[in-house]
Amino acid sequence: MVNSVDLYAGSWDAFTDLHEEIAFVFGAWAPGAVINADLPFHTRHDAERGPEKLRVSMRINIAVGVIAAARGLHPDAARDVLRQEARRAGLTEADHAALVIRRQTRDGG
């Protein structure tokens, strides 16, 4: 039987020089330890940003739909329009998308 234990800490050196002791606690083999597999916690940080990424993606998709419907464009062409308009205005696509949606809502769309 093979098992594994994942230990996480808030600092890069939390387990430094403790491999033997930790292995003993778990009845494990210290030389087999993998250290710093995800040192900067990228996966956790990505997961934390997930809901905001989803909101931004939805906002952009809605704005693309508004532009496509208003101008009779294919969604791919409408996305290009959103990108170009955002670039010309010095905005992110997400910020420009929010403006497109706000304008549509205000104008009774």
CA–CA dist 41, 62 (Å, integer): 32
User: How many CA atoms are closer than 13 Å to the CA of 35, on its beta-carbon side?
Assistant: 13
Total residues found in the chain within this entry: 109
CATH code reported for the domain at 50-106: 1.10.10
Q: Where are the domains of the chain?
A: 1-39, 50-106
Taking CA atoms, 77 is separated from 18, 21, 32, 37, 65, in Å, by: 57, 60, 53, 42, 11
In this predicted model, what pLDDT tens digit does every residue of 12-39 receive, in sequence order?
778 788 888 888 888 877 777 666 666 5
In this predicted model, what pLDDT tens digit does every residue of 50-72 receive, in sequence order?
899 999 999 999 999 999 999 99
User: Around Cβ 97, how many Cβ atoms within 10 Å?
Assistant: 25
